[in-house]
Structure 1
Amino acid sequence: MPKMKTSKTAAKRFKKTGTGKLRREQANNQHLFEKKSSRRKRRLEADVDVHPGDAKKIKRLLAER
């Protein structure tokens, strides 16, 4: 069976930390900032961990075994 290719769309959305955890950007942080509070914009800047239930699928998309 051939090697599994990395999903380039997933590679752009998820990053692997040094300890092997997966991180992602939060939604609602691309545009329409005028109506969002400063507090909300600051909170959305931070990356968050991927939900454990999704981690296995995402690791497969990133072709990590």
Structure 2
Amino acid sequence: MAASVADMAIRVGLADFPLWVFCFLMFISLLFVLIFKSSYSGQAPDETAQPESGTFVKQQPR
């Protein structure tokens, strides 16, 4: 019973939402999360993650 329900859910899910649609929605949601984080903190998301790149080092008061 559970196997048939799982098979039906997989078939309906794959028929309604293909893999590229799922990846596209995940990418858009991740993009919104990054934009919200950057606007909320007032800084670029990769300012502290990549200080050695030289792009955001001049903004730090060292």
Q: Tell me whether the two structures share a fold, i.e. TM-score over 0.5.
A: no
Instruction: Select the structure of larger CA radius of gyration.
Output: 2
More strand, by proportion = 1
More helix, by proportion = 2
Q: TM-score, normalised by structure 2?
A: 0.27
* Greater RCO, CA 8 A, separation 6+: 1
Q: TM-score, normalised by structure 1?
A: 0.26
